[in-house]
Structure formats: C-alpha cells, structure tokens
Structure 1
Amino acid sequence: MKKHFKFIIFSIVYICTTILLTKSITTSLLNSEISSLEKKLDQIVQEIKDGNRTRSTYTELQIFTDDNKVPEDVQNVFKGSAHSNAIIDGNLYVSTPLTVNGKTKEVIRIGEKLNVNPSIFELIFIYSAVIYLFILFYYLNNKSSNDREISEINKIIARFHKNPYQELRVDSQSDPILDSVNNYSSQVYAILNDKNQQIDNILKLINTLDFPVFIYDDQGSLITSNGSFKLEFPHATNISYFKNQIEFLNFLVSNLVDSNDIQGEFYFEDIDKYFQVKISNIDNLHGNYIVSMLDVSEPIKAKISQDNFIANVSHELKTPLTSIIGFSDAITTHNISQKQVHEFSLIIKKEAERLENLVNDTLKLTKNNIKIQKTEVQANEVVDDILSKFYFQIEEKKLHIDKRLRNIYFLTNYDLFYGIAKNIIENAIFYTKNNGRIYISLNDDNDNVYLTVKDNGIGISIVDQERIFERFYRVDEARSTTTNGTGLGLAIVKHNAKYLNARISMISKLDLGTKITIIFPK
C-alpha cells in the first residue's frame, strides 16, 4: 500500500515538473524574441533621430499619436513605459516612444511573426510521456521483487534497532541489492563491534584506577564514573553539582566550547583536598569527555605547611633574639646601675631559654624516619618526674594537683612518651588560672594505657579546637607570651602520638577548662 502511494506521489510530482518545465521553456523563448525585437526597434528610432533615414523607409513601422483609440500596448507607452509588447494573431508587436524635447509626441510600433514553434511543446510532452511510461513499466515489472527486497530490508532495520551490535543478514537468493545490504550490514557490524569493544576497554580501565575519573557529555550529564569518584562525590550526576566550586565548573564548561586537552589544579573545600585535573577528548567516546582527578593534597599541603612553618619559626626566633640584642646593647653601651645589669641579664637568660626551647622543639618536629626503640617504661614515675620540674610554677600559681596514678609499666619509646606527657601537663599548668585545679590520671586495661590531664583553665573554643594541634597555633596570644611557650607543644604531642600509634581525645569548653586523654597501645 505504501509502495502504491509513493508511486502516485511520484507521478503527481513528475507531471507538475513537466508542466513547469514546459512553461519555463516557453517563457524563455518568448523573452528572447521580445528582447531581439526591442533592440531592432531602438536601432530604428535612433536612425530616425539621427536623420540617416526617413520614416517612410521602414514599411513595417506603425506610428501612433496620442489618441484614445490606439491599442492597449501603445497606450502603455504614452503612459510612460519605455517599451511595451503584445501578441496579436500569432504576431509579436513591440512599441517605444519617439520624444521631442523630453515629451512623447508619437509612439512607434514594429511587429513580426512569432517564431516560438508549438511543436516544441508537443515534443516535450511526448518525450516526458515516454519516460513516464518506461518508469511505469519498470515499476510494474519489478514490483514483486522490490516488495521482497523492501520487506527484507525493513526486517534488518527493525532488528538493528532492537540490537545494533548484532550482525544482521538476510537470504539474498543471489539478489544483487540484498547482497549489497548483507555486505553493508557486515561492515557496520564490524565497525560498531570494534567501537563498542574499545569503549568497554576504556570503561574497564577507568574502574581499575584508584583515583577519581568520570565521563560527561556536551549537556553536562555524567555518563559514568569509577568507584573513587563516587567515594569522593557520591551525589554528583551532572557537572552542575560543582556549582559551589565555580572555578572547577567553569573549567569543565570551557571544554565544551574549546575541545582541547586541558588541565588545572583545584582545591575542593568540602573534602579538603587538592586535585590535579585533566580533561581528555577521546574519539571513541563519541564526543564525550573523560576527566581524571589526581589527588595531590599531600605534597601541596606539605609545601603549604613547610612555608608556614618557616615563616612562623622566623617570626618566633626574631622575638627572643630582638630582646637579647636589645638588652645586651643596653648593658654594653649604656651607663646603667648594677641592679639594672642584673635585671637585664635575667631577661636575656629568660629569652635565651625560650630560644633554646624553640630550637629544641623545632628539631623534634622536623625529625623524619624516627627509629622507634621501645623499652619498658614506668609511666607513673615519668608523670611524677615532669611534675617535679614544674614545682616552682605550680607553687607560684598556687595550683592544686589531684593525681590518681596507677603503677603502670608498658612497652613504649621513653622520649616520645615523655614529650607527650610533658607538653599536655605543661599546657595545663600554664593555662590554668591562679588557685586552679589540675586532675591527672593514669590507668590501663588489657590493650591500652590511658593518660588524662584535666584543668579548669581558659578552655578552647570549638573553632580553635580544629587547629589547636597545628604548629605555632595559640589559643590566647597574649597569655602565651607570658608563659615562655613556643606554640609547638600540642604539635609535638600530635607528632609523637603518630609514631607511637597513640590516639588523642580532647573535650574543652571556653572559660571552663580542657580535658585531654592520650590512649597508648600496649
């Protein structure tokens, strides 16, 4: 039915095309004759004006004056037309004005027999009819064969839509058209299968990578991603997910405009990580884009930490050195009393001790690849020894020390354990107000040793608690300068705990005090 309908449509289009073609040829021939006759008439008018010939010389001329009885084509010239034409009784007439002083006084018309041969139109129709009959004969003669070919091809198309990656073949029965269809189907299958295999290989490779990788299309939708990406960004389904990471989003969008391999470095605040990101355009991904994200947080943070550490050390060294140099100059270059010399000497000694502590603490923090040699340590004796070293500070501030120390021996590194205990006890003493109370306990169980130091000092805000273990970070800058501290105490605690596989627990409330527990594995 569809085949008949298509042929009817073809027939209508064919007939209309034939009519339009005939009309076009007729118009072209007629315009050619009119143009030729107009040129001839213009030449005659010019010769008359030049006086080369008289009007009587041209027997084919017709001359009209402005009269209502003149033919319509002549009237058009009197109305202002440069030329006018008419076909009367198989003759073609062309008219033009004869002007005197810019005014049309007469109209000259010339005519000749129309040369457009009607037989041309008959030949066109006959030729068109013959072609149409030939097409009709071919259609009727091959209809049954064509119906079979079309039916088989339709089956292939339907099966291709259902499964484009399956090779599709039909029984050609030596039909050249169906043989060509089979050959084309085999070629398409080979190409698609090769492309599909390449895409599968890419996807398998992506899933084996231990860093985030995802693929997105020109609409911004994520086509696929590997486990590492889903772990870092579990809710991402479109690149618009990164709208709060505006620089990264612009980076992804820019590649849609300029499809070149590009890379950049971005910080993701939500997960506190730096990624080196590269976008690649792979032909086999059908215009999609593959994004690889290499986690470079560790080296970048190490560089930032190193830069900050150097800046902080320089600042901390400058303060005691400035005091030492200043008071030394005062002693050596000024006439001062013995009492002032003694006072300035004490200040110099205090600043020198502070400088020594800073250098020692810095060395402790910068040691890498420490070889941990564990020995049996009596933990309660270490705590008592530390408290004895701060006897005068405790007495001066009239602090009450509540000790609950069990007699505990366990295998650990003495220096690292001592550094942890000394710094958390020292912090409690320095940051507890006069007449304050410090509670120190030492307990254990089958697996761990627990050292707890609790005070009712100035406390630590929630914001500060996130940074309290950073190097040179101080909660109370004004108080820290009076305690001879270096700002490295809790950083050393964290550093040593890492090497002992110890865990740190801290509970603190501003103006109420702080409780720190270090859990050492046995």
Structure 2
Amino acid sequence: MTKKIFRAIFLSTMGILLGSVLLILGYLFHYFSDLQLEQLSIQTSLMAQAVEQEGFHYLEQVDSRGLRITWIAPDGEVLYDSESAVGQLGNHADREEVREAKKTGSGQSIRHSDTVTQRLLYSAQRLADGTVLRLSLSQQTIWVLLGQLTPWMGLLFILSSLGSLFIAKRISRKLLEPLEKLDLEKPFENDVYVELSPLLRRLELHQTQLAEKESLLQQKREEFDTIISKMKEGMVIVDKGGYLVSYNSAAGQLLELEKSSIGHLIPAFSRHIGLKEILEAGLADQKAERIFEVGDRQSKVLIRPIWAEAGQTGAVILFFDVTEQHYLDKIRREFTATVSHELRTPLHILFGYSEMLQSGLTSPDSVQIFSTKIYQESKRMIQLIEDILQLAQLDEGGRIHKEVVNITSLVEQVVTGLNEKVKQKGISLTLKADTVYYKGNPTLLQSIVYNLCDNAIKYNKENGLVSVELSDNQDTVVFRVVDTGLGIAEADKERIFERFYRADKSRSKQVGGTGLGLSIVKYALQVHGASIEVDSLLDQGTTMTVTFPV
C-alpha cells in the first residue's frame, strides 16, 4: 500500500508540475506574440505616416533589419518589398491582412511557414491614396523554443523529480503512519483521521461480530470436547489427507496419541495393515467396519466419511472396546465344546453298558458291575447338568435373594454330609467354628462351603488331613479349608476358577468331578462381595481362605 500511495503522489506531482510548466510556457508564448503583434501594428502605423509624406525616399532610407516592408498598390500589385524584387512577387490583393486593411483601415494575420519552424506576424495599414503598407516579422514556433530550452527543461525535470520523490515519500509515510499503528482490537481508541471514522465503525462492528462468533465457536468446541472426552469409545477425526484433526482421551490412550500429533499422520494407522486399509476405504468415501486387535484390546473399528458442500472433508473413526464380548464369545464357544465333550463321555459309557446288557450276553456278575457303572455315570451326568444349570442362573445376573443365615449350622451340615467320602479315603477331618450369622443367599453359601470341602477331600491323599475353620472377626467372616492333598502348581492358581479347568487332568479323571465347582464358588463369592486366597504347594497341600465382608 505504501508503494501505491508513493507512486500515485509522485506521478501526480510530476504530472501537475510538467503540466504547469507547459501551460505557463504556452501562455507566455501567446502573450509575447500578442505583444509583438501590437508593437508591429504601432510600428506599421508610424511608418505609414512617413510613407505618406516621403514616399519611396523614406522606404529606401529606413533601417528594416528584422522587418520585411511591403508597399502594395490598391489593385494588389507590389510597389515595394524590402527583401524581394517587385517583379518576382505576385498579386497580394487576396492576403488576409491586406483585405482587412482595405476594408477597415488596418489588418493583422499570423501564418506559419512551410517548414513549421517559424511563423510570420503580419500588420497592414491603408494609406490615404488607397495603397497598403504591410510589415511582417518572423517568429520562432513554441516547439523550437522548447527545443532551445531543453537543457533548462532537463534540469527542471531532475530537480522536480527529486522534489517529487521527497514529497511523495514524506507524504506517504505521514499518511500511513496512523494506519500502521492502528489497533484493530480497539478501533475507536486510535488517533486517526476523521475521514476514517466510517471505517473504524465498520471495524468495531466486525470485531464485535467476530468476538461473538469466536465465543460461540469456542463454546461449541468445548461442548464437543466435553462430549467426546466422556465417551468410553475412542473417536478420531482426520482430514481428507488422513492427517489428525481431533481425538478424545480414549482414542489417545488406545493409539498413544499426543497433542503434538495434531496435523500429522497417525502412527498406528501406518503400522497396522488393517487400520491402514480401513482408513483408505473411509477416505475413498466408503463406510467400513472391522474388528482388530489394537494394542492389547479387541476393538470394533467403524469409519464414516465426513461431507461438506464442497465434497468430502475427512472421516470420523470410532473404536468400540469389544474385548470382554470377544472373551465371552470365546469362553462360550469353549464352554459349549467342553460341555459337549463332558456329556458325550458318560453318554457313550451308558450307551455301551446298556447295549451289552440288552444283548443278554453278560454274566450275572457283569450285570452287577455294569449296573454300578451306569449308576455312577448317570450320577456324574446329573451332577454336571445341575452345575451347568446353576452357572446359567448365575450368568443371568438376576436379583439374588438374601437372608440371615446361620453359617455355623450350614458348615456342620455340609461336613456331616461328606462323612461317607471322608471314611472312604480314611481322612481325618476337624471342624472348628464360631457361631456366625451372615446375610446372604443360603444356596450359594452352601455351594461355597460344599465345593471347597469336597475338593479338599477329593484331591487329598489317602489318610490325609482336612481342617475346616469358621471365625467371626469384627469386620470380616473368615472361612478356611486346609488339606494335605496334591497341591496346586503356581501357574495353575489363576486358572483353577475357570470352567472345566483341571490342574492335573489325569488325576481329575480318577477322582471324578465336573470341573465347574470352583467356577460356581467364584460367582457365589462375587455375589456376596467376598474374596478368596489360594495358598498351595505341590504334594504338600492347599489352603483356601474365604473372607466375607460384614
């Protein structure tokens, strides 16, 4: 802007200056021309009086340097000429100044020469005898004069240019100084020209509107950030080039993003082939969704294109954590496969023994053996189905009825019910129990006590020891079962509560069991908010400690 103002002032100044010089020269030229013509007219009048008195004698004696004197007869014939022979000159009756002098007594005219380097001033005076005396004066044209003044005009141009440069530079600085110091945030606090008041009012209005829009935009941005930050699902927004525009905290943790990642390509999308493919699909205006393992989690990834009036501007990517669902699906598939296997084994045994009995080829002793086997496998299958049904009820997560239960009496009943198994293995079982009342579900509490005590007997050694303790502390109720059995390896401690998991499968086949007992214990403990601690060494025994909060 400074250059434009400077150029405008400089050119305007130079234009005005040169125009003024030419106008003045033109005026002076015409002024002096009129003055010369007037003097020539006076001189013609004086000479006319002298010619009337002395005739040719005066004309021959007069000094005519610089002047051309011509005496013309009434019919236009030249009687005398100071520069040319009379015989060489034609008739002058048609000359403008001669016609005018004959008509009015005096006449004037100006004519240019053929070379256009001079012009001639003519003045004519009619004498008393009808003749006309004419004087002419040659005058250089204004262009010749300008040519002669070229050195001075050049000097004037240089001085004028320097002056114009100085003036233009100074004025442009002065004009723009207030504008350069203009505070756009507070327009009316600026000390500027009055003529800028409308502009300042527009700026003030514009700033107000911008502030309102910026405030509204900031509010919307904060609302948007708040909303997406509360989402447990990860959300990422990218532009049409795949560069990160925005993300929430869930996506930041999942993809290891930082604030410095804004405006860059997302590293996880470059490293993960599946994410790269789904991003390319979204940026190609396609909807897509797939399940990937991102980090240590299973995520369902959805991508949707973002459109504006001008076309696609980017894409939004959502990450849904389906790790638990994926795990449950996996557990469900494994559970179904295991249940099928566990049920198929006793059914095959039942089918085989039944088929042999049906054939009638078995001896009476074999019938007794086969009947016992059929009874045992049927009992095992019934126990398995009952455990599965109980787990299914627990999985439903319905409302669990709770009441005040005499746990001491419940433990005594369970121990009494296990006396037959204790005698069969020659195990010494001791019970030490405080009187404890606890609000819980009687059936689930009975399952906890029964399964822990049953395992302690089942996986114990011949003639082993089992100790059952129930103690009432101020803040907790502790139920502990200690055995001298097979023990549990360190690697198996975390998995013994999984469905159908057996630490020693060969030993488990011998002692029986469905593999669901501790799974039921786990669910029952969760319902009551209780915890269990497993302390075990291989071939030395196991201690199961259950802590119920009061």
Normalised TM-score (structure 1): 0.60
Contact 1:441 1:451 in 2 (8 A): yes
Distance (whole Å) between structure 2 residues aligned to residue 185 and residue 399 of structure 1: 93
Identity %: 25
* Correspondence list, 1:91-130, <5 A: none
Which stretch has the larger CA shift, 253-262 or 321-330?
A: 253-262
Which residue in the other structure is 2:106 paired with? none
Match of 1:401 among 421, 429, 450: 429
Distance (whole Å) between structure 2 residues aligned to residue 507 and residue 266 of structure 1: 38
Match of 1:477 among 502, 505, 516: 505
SS in 2 for 1:504: strand
Which residue in the other structure is 2:372 paired with? 346
Which residue in the other structure is 2:444 paired with? 416
Which residue in the other structure is 2:36 paired with? none
Which residue in the other structure is 2:384 paired with? 358
Structure with larger Rg: 2
SS in 2 for 1:330: helix
Query: What one-letter code is carried by the residue in structure 2 that aligns with 1:386?
Result: V
Which residue in the other structure is 2:195 paired with? 174
Distance (whole Å) between structure 1 residues aligned to residue 291 and residue 163 of structure 2: 72
Number of aligned residues? 387
Query: What one-letter code is carried by the residue in structure 2 that aligns with 1:444?
Result: D
Which stretch has the larger CA shift, 185-194 or 202-211?
A: 185-194
Residue 511 of structure 1: how far off its partner (Å): 4.3
Distance (whole Å) between structure 1 residues aligned to residue 372 and residue 491 of structure 2: 37
Distance (whole Å) between structure 2 residues aligned to residue 256 and residue 172 of structure 1: 56
Distance (whole Å) between structure 1 residues aligned to residue 304 and residue 541 of structure 2: 51
Match of 2:229 among 207, 219, 223: 207
Which stretch has the larger CA shift, 488-497 or 348-357?
A: 488-497
Contact 1:448 1:519 in 2 (8 A): yes
Gaps of 5+ in 1: 12-132, 161-165
* Correspondence list, 1:25-44, <5 A: none
Contact 1:441 1:452 in 2 (8 A): yes
Residue 412 of structure 1: how far off its partner (Å): 2.5
Which residue in the other structure is 1:37 paired with? none
Contact 2:456 2:481 in 1 (8 A): yes
Residue 245 of structure 1: how far off its partner (Å): 8.5
Residue 415 of structure 1: how far off its partner (Å): 1.0
Which stretch has the larger CA shift, 144-153 or 203-212?
A: 144-153
Which residue in the other structure is 2:18 paired with? none
1:399-452 C-alpha deviation (Å, 9 max, x unpaired): 333433223233322211101111111122222233333332111112321111
Query: What one-letter code is carried by the residue in structure 1 that aligns with 2:392?
Result: T
* Correspondence list, 1:311-460, <5 A: 311-367=337-393, 368-460=396-488
1:278-333 C-alpha deviation (Å, 9 max, x unpaired): 5664879x978654434444544444433333222222111111110111001111
Which residue in the other structure is 1:502 paired with? 530
Which stretch has the larger CA shift, 199-208 or 188-197?
A: 188-197
Query: What one-letter code is carried by the residue in structure 1 that aligns with 2:449?
Result: A
Q: 1:172 and 1:426, CA in 2 relative to 1: closer, same or farther beyond 3 A?
A: farther
SS in 2 for 1:394: helix
SS in 2 for 1:481: helix
Distance (whole Å) between structure 2 residues aligned to residue 252 and residue 148 of structure 1: 61
Q: 1:460 and 1:490, CA in 2 relative to 1: closer, same or farther beyond 3 A?
A: same
Residue 181 of structure 1: how far off its partner (Å): 8.9
Which stretch has the larger CA shift, 477-486 or 194-203?
A: 194-203
Query: What one-letter code is carried by the residue in structure 1 that aligns with 2:225?
Result: L
Residue 190 of structure 1: how far off its partner (Å): 7.0
Match of 1:225 among 225, 248, 252: 248
Query: What one-letter code is carried by the residue in structure 1 that aligns with 2:487?
Result: G
Which stretch has the larger CA shift, 473-482 or 249-258?
A: 249-258
SS in 1 for 2:510: coil
Distance (whole Å) between structure 1 residues aligned to residue 538 and residue 315 of structure 2: 51
SS in 2 for 1:410: strand
Which stretch has the larger CA shift, 247-256 or 499-508?
A: 247-256
Which stretch has the larger CA shift, 377-386 or 327-336?
A: 377-386
Residue 274 of structure 1: how far off its partner (Å): 4.4
Contact 1:215 1:225 in 2 (8 A): no
Q: 1:327 and 1:521, CA in 2 relative to 1: closer, same or farther beyond 3 A?
A: same
Normalised TM-score (structure 2): 0.57
Residue 469 of structure 1: how far off its partner (Å): 1.6
* Correspondence list, 1:262-341, <5 A: 262-268=288-294, 270=296, 274-275=299-300, 277-278=302-303, 281=306, 291-341=317-367
Q: 1:412 and 1:176, CA in 2 relative to 1: closer, same or farther beyond 3 A?
A: closer
Which stretch has the larger CA shift, 322-331 or 240-249?
A: 240-249
SS in 2 for 1:440: strand
Contact 2:478 2:545 in 1 (8 A): yes
Residue 382 of structure 1: how far off its partner (Å): 2.4
Q: 1:369 and 1:3, CA in 2 relative to 1: closer, same or farther beyond 3 A?
A: closer
SS in 1 for 2:195: coil
Distance (whole Å) between structure 1 residues aligned to residue 448 and residue 319 of structure 2: 38
* Correspondence list, 1:65-214, <5 A: 146-147=172-173, 150-151=176-177, 154-155=180-181, 173-174=194-195, 182=203, 186=207, 195-213=217-235
Q: 1:447 and 1:180, CA in 2 relative to 1: closer, same or farther beyond 3 A?
A: closer
Distance (whole Å) between structure 2 residues aligned to residue 260 and residue 184 of structure 1: 44
Which stretch has the larger CA shift, 250-259 or 399-408?
A: 250-259
CA RMSD of aligned residues (A): 4.6
Residue 345 of structure 1: how far off its partner (Å): 1.0
Contact 1:240 1:249 in 2 (8 A): no
Distance (whole Å) between structure 2 residues aligned to residue 448 and residue 173 of structure 1: 86
Distance (whole Å) between structure 2 residues aligned to residue 244 and residue 392 of structure 1: 66
Query: What one-letter code is carried by the residue in structure 2 that aligns with 1:225?
Result: N
Distance (whole Å) between structure 2 residues aligned to residue 291 and residue 403 of structure 1: 61
